[in-house]
């Protein structure tokens, strides 16, 4: 892309138009401006339980602190609001110890009453639909206060991963504790929690549909107790930038400090304009390997995709190498299985490949033709398969929030059309995608990363496709699990194996073999098709702030929309 003078002037107008939101009492050099890749649909609602998108415009990065944070570099579960989380020998009972001296921003103590209240609220209200709430409901039989700083959880069944899975920011967020003294007596399904409070070092200042502003609380408990110094930024702003070209213009002209995912060409254009912009790697491929691998989700209740052979035909048509080269400009690699290709996952990936279920990087259109023709289709004069006078068609929904998503599906659509399936992309806005399309099964196929979860053990990703997660189309899938509605005899057999895996420790030597056994059912029926490993090319601007996470300064990973962003903010230092 070319960052022309006219374009840069246009980008300046964006922030000038937002002048009321950028009060002049805090200098630009004391402010960090984060890129927001979505519209804030309800800016005065901070009830994170009831809808997606209510926390990543600063709420869980600056205001709501986690109990623990998984360090992707060391593998350690680092304490934050909690100091210890210990299980009994059977992994059926866990005891949480809270940090002493933590307070909410209104001065009230943060303690075991808040934890018990919030967990019980999730357990008692099935209408609370967010993934973390649904997981707690499924896993916790009871929760009780032992004393002001101690909470005991009794689980429905053994779970060796309970701590990191629910309270460790393993993927994106964690189960967030809410203030009992504010929420008590409110209906948790309708309460807007506005204005919000938290325990973090920033408090809510204002918000609109396109930005949210948070100002530092100099009375933050962490500084008062010696847990950590006050973070250097006085103000944090999350600003909706409107897409890749706009965010590129804004970071090139120092009007934002960090941007969402861009292409290699865009990064190179930004750096030509602004040498202070960096990425995870100094040189190619620049990008950080995101744990949420990309896949094609298939609604197994919709004909003809309710036929496993038709789903396998689509899998044969996919050329993953072409997706890598065209959509990702070589910054990632094809997926070999459903799993992220981190070192800790190698034993499970190897077991799947050794059993013959690994994925090819290239297409096998002849194999796809055989399966489609075996289902009674024949190609018409236009090269499109047809049966009983009807063309073989498919609509693929895709989140329009990032060019990564739309470019990938453009490649897939082209591959399917060349192979004889009349395919089209259906771009939808981010809120509609996560709020309506995915959870309710309102699609034939869709681009997603719904097997995301496992980074050092296999169960977390595999359990997302068990049959007990299936609900009818039109009802919300719990925690976005098995939105494909896979519920065949093979799915039941898969579920039985995965359920047995759930009681084993992550290093149990039986796991790789069980993974391969369960994966045979996934491979046979393909309720989703793994595509490529995810790569996030995130530009960071060192004009005003240094200390961003990089491969050389890997205190943790760089996904600044996750709940661990507290660590990033605490590591920032003014450039001058």
Section 394-406 average pLDDT:
93
On the question of pLDDT at 20 being above 80, the answer is no
Distance CA 491, CA 482 (A): 11
pLDDT of residue 129: 84
DSSP string, 58-122: TIIIIISPPSEEE-TTT--EEESSEEEEEE-TTSSEEEEEEPTT-B-TTSPBP-HHHHHHHHHHH
List pLDDT tens digits, range 37-47.
989 999 999 99
Domains belonging to the chain, first-starting first, are 32-64+192-285+536-574 (3.40.190.10), 68-183 (3.90.76.10), 290-534 (3.10.105.10)
Which residue is associated with the tokens 């007990």? 468
Q: Is the separation of the CB atoms in 14 and 21 below 8 Å? A: no
Sign of the C-alpha dihedral computed for residues 417, 420, 422 and 426 taken in this order: negative
Three-state SS annotation for 276-338: CEECCCCCCCCCEEECCCCEEEECCCCCCCCCHHHHHHHHHHCCHHHHHHHHCCCCCCECCCC
Main-chain dihedrals φ then ψ at residue 534, nearest 5 degrees: -80, 145
Distance CA 456, CA 291 (A): 10
**Residue 15: which pLDDT band, with cuts at 50, 70 and 90?**
very low
Choose among 183, 206, 27, 198: nearest CA to 107: 198
**What is the overall mean pLDDT for the chain?**
94
CA distances for 142 relative to 49, 119, 156, angstroms:
19, 9, 8
Distance CA 232, CA 240 (A): 23
List pLDDT tens digits, range 288-315.
999 999 999 999 999 999 999 999 999 9
DSSP string, 460-483: HHHGGG-GGG---TTSPPGGGTTT
Main-chain dihedrals φ then ψ at residue 283, nearest 5 degrees: -130, 180
Which residue is associated with the tokens 């995915």? 438
**Residue 18: which pLDDT band, with cuts at 50, 70 and 90?**
very low
**The pairing of beta strand 82-87 with beta strand 93-98:** antiparallel
Contacts of 489 (CB under 8 A, 6+ apart): none
**The pairing of beta strand 77-79 with beta strand 68-70:** antiparallel
pLDDT of residue 7: 45
Distance CA 146, CA 123 (A): 19
Section 380-399 average pLDDT:
97
Residues of the chain with pLDDT > 90: what percent?
Answer: 90
Choose among 91, 470, 484: nearest CA to 302: 484
pLDDT of residue 22: 52
Check: pTM over 0.85? Answer yes or no.
no
């Amino acid at each position: 892309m070319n960052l022309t003078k006219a374009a840069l002037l246009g980008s300046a107008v964006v922030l000038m138009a937002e002048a009321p939101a950028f009060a002049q009492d805090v200098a630009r050099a004391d402010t960090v401006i984060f890129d927001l890749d979505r519209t804030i649909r309800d800016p005065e609602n901070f009830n994170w339980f009831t809808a997606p998108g209510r926390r990543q415009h600063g709420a869980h990065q600056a205001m709501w602190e986690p109990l623990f944070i998984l360090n992707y570099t060391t593998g350690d579960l680092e304490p934050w609001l909690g100091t210890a989380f210990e299980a009994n020998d059977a992994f059926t009972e866990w005891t949480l110890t809270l940090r002493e001296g933590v307070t909410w921003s209104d001065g009230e103590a943060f303690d075991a009453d808040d934890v018990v209240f919030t967990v019980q609220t999730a357990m008692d209200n099935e209408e609370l639909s967010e993934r973390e709430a649904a997981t707690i409901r499924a896993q916790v039989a009871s929760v009780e206060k032992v004393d002001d700083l101690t909470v005991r959880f009794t689980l429905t069944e053994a779970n060796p991963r309970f701590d990191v899975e629910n309270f460790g920011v393993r993927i994106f967020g964690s189960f967030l504790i809410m203030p009992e003294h504010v929420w008590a007596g409110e209906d948790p399904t309708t309460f807007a929690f506005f204005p919000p409070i938290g325990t973090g070092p920033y408090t809510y200042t204002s918000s609109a549909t396109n930005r949210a502003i948070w100002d530092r609380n100099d009375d933050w408990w962490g500084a008062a107790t010696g847990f950590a110094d006050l973070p250097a930024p006085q103000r944090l702003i999350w600003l909706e930038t409107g897409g890749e070209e706009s965010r590129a213009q804004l970071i090139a002209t120092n009007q934002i400090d960090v941007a969402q995912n861009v292409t290699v060409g865009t990064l190179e254009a930004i750096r030509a304009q602004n040498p202070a912009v960096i990425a995870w790697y100094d040189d190619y491929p620049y990008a950080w390997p995101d744990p949420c691998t990309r896949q094609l989700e298939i609604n197994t209740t919709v004909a003809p995709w309710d036929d496993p052979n038709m789903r396998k035909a689509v899998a044969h048509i996919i050329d993953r190498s072409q997706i890598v080269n065209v959509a990702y400009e070589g910054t990632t690699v094809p997926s070999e299985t459903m799993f992220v290709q981190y070192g800790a996952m190698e034993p499970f990936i190897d077991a799947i490949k050794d059993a013959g279920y690994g994925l090819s990087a290239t297409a096998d259109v002849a194999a796809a033709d055989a399966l489609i023709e075996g289902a009674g289709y024949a190609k018409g004069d236009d090269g499109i398969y047809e049966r009983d006078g009807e063309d073989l068609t498919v609509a693929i929904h895709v989140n329009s929030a990032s060019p990564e998503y739309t470019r990938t599906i453009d490649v897939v659509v082209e591959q399917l059309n060349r192979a004889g399936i009349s395919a089209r992309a259906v771009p939808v806005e981010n809120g509609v995608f996560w709020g309506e399309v995915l959870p309710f099964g309102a699609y034939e196929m869709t681009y997603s990363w719904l097997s995301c979860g496992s980074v050092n053990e296999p169960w977390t990703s595999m359990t997302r496709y068990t049959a007990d997660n299936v609900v009818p189309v039109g009802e919300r899938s719990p925690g976005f699990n098995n939105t494909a509605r896979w519920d065949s005899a093979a799915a039941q057999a898969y579920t039985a194996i995965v359920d047995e895996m759930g009681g084993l420790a992550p290093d149990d030597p039986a796991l790789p073999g069980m993974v391969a056994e369960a994966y045979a059912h996934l491979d046979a029926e393909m309720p989703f098709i793994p595509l490529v490993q995810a790569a996030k090319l995130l530009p960071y601007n060192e004009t005003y702030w240094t200390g961003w996470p990089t491969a050389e300064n890997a205190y943790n990973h760089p996904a600044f929309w996750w709940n661990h962003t507290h660590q990033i903010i605490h590591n920032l230092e003014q450039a001058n």
